[in-house]
Amino acid sequence: MSQNAAWIAVDWGTTRLRAWAMSADDQVIEARSSDDGMVGLTQADFAPTLVRLMGDYLGRERMPVMACGMVGAKQGWAEAAYAAVPCAPPGIDQATRVQDAAFDLAILPGVKQDTPAEVMRGEETQIAGYLAQDPNFDGVLCLPGTHTKWVHISAGEIVSFRTAMTGELYALLSTQSILRHGVGEGWDEEVFAEAMSSTLSKPETLAMTLFNIRAEGLLHGLSPTAATARLSGLLIGAELAAMRPYWLGQRVVILGAEVLSKRYAAALQAQAVPAEMVGAEALTLAGLIAAQAHRKAAA
């Protein structure tokens, strides 16, 4: 540690903990992370886990912490009840506050939608980070990942959203199912585009095209590279078929990691929907900084 931290920003997800030691003028002093996701922790573990990761930044005063993600779930450090759409991404006023020996903690709530039932925890803070840079955005944000979110934004508010488990399905099918025998490294843009287009235009075929990947490998030597691109294309095509109201005729911005964002952008481009891509890495931190700025203003 080369510098005293004024506060700590925390993105505590299901499987990862990311934390940033921040200066008084909201510059990153140091970023750290660990595999101590909430899924492996009981309620009593959260504070000691954060002490273990960031302890050398702690002094005699309680350290202000601004956190988002599954840390606010019912099984998290403390529950931060969902805000309900339509709403702006929740800020410090809606946060759950916890004070213990070491921390003055604020956990930003997730967002829920009653009908159709939907929940997010963490994505709302990425959205807050995006809106901090582009407050007048009106359109759709796509946040690809394990559970991809499609979010309609208008007048600074989350109006509605839907979730597709595409990332989780892809991971399960490519590592745990019979298809794991055929998939591999690499990427084939053309195979992806063809598979994507086939389930987008004929979503009813999905159930019989998945096993076909295995049979093509056995009978016709489908390469592991092509199998991977086809699996991804079939699943993303099925997702786009479900999410049509979220992209058809809309302004779409994709907030995600580069490789995955490019797949979604290519899929949308094939439907004549130009999609911007914004790296999601920094957005969570930007959202946490925005919430912390309000906390300081209110203090």
Distance (Å, rounded) from C-alpha 28 to C-alpha 25? Answer: 9
Distance (Å, rounded) from C-alpha 33 to C-alpha 216? Answer: 41
User: What's the min distance (Å) between Cβ of 139 and its own copies?
Assistant: 19
- Regarding 210 and contact with its own copies (CB under 8 A), the answer is yes
Q: Looking at 22, 63, 143, 238, which residue binds its own copies (CB under 8 A)?
A: 238
Options 22-30, 127-135, 165-173, 268-276: segment touching its own copies (CB under 8 A): 165-173
User: Taking CB under 8 A as the criterion, which residues in 258-297 touch its own copies?
Assistant: none
Amino acid found at 202: K
* Block residue for tokens 């003055």: 104
Nearer residue to its own copies within complex by CB, 163 or 232: 163
- Regarding 204 and contact with its own copies (CB under 8 A), the answer is yes
Q: Looking at 2, 42, 136, 176, which residue binds its own copies (CB under 8 A)?
A: 176
Q: Looking at 10, 153, 243, 278, which residue binds its own copies (CB under 8 A)?
A: 243
- Regarding 172 and contact with its own copies (CB under 8 A), the answer is yes
- Regarding 61 and contact with its own copies (CB under 8 A), the answer is no
What x/- string results for residues 14 through 53 when contact with its own copies is judged by CB under 8 A?
----------------------------------------
Is residue 116 exposed (0-12), middle (13-18) or buried (19+ Cβ within 10 Å)?
exposed
- Regarding 162 and contact with its own copies (CB under 8 A), the answer is yes
User: How many amino acids of this chain bind its own copies (CB under 8 A)?
Assistant: 44
Options 59-67, 129-137, 173-181, 268-276: segment touching its own copies (CB under 8 A): 173-181
Q: In the structure encoding, which two tokens stand for residue 244, read together?
A: 């049509």
Options 3-11, 30-38, 48-56, 235-243: segment touching its own copies (CB under 8 A): 235-243
Distance (Å, rounded) from C-alpha 71 to C-alpha 122? Answer: 9
Options 46-54, 112-120, 189-197, 262-270: segment touching its own copies (CB under 8 A): 112-120
Q: Looking at 28, 29, 47, 242, which residue binds its own copies (CB under 8 A)?
A: 242
Distance (Å, rounded) from C-alpha 24 to C-alpha 4? Answer: 9
- Regarding 178 and contact with its own copies (CB under 8 A), the answer is yes
Distance (Å, rounded) from C-alpha 133 to C-alpha 226? Answer: 39
Q: Looking at 207, 259, 272, 297, which residue binds its own copies (CB under 8 A)?
A: 207
Query: Which positions touch its own copies (CB under 8 A)?
Result: 82, 112-114, 116-119, 147, 162-166, 168-169, 172-173, 176-178, 203-212, 214-216, 218-220, 235, 238-239, 241-244
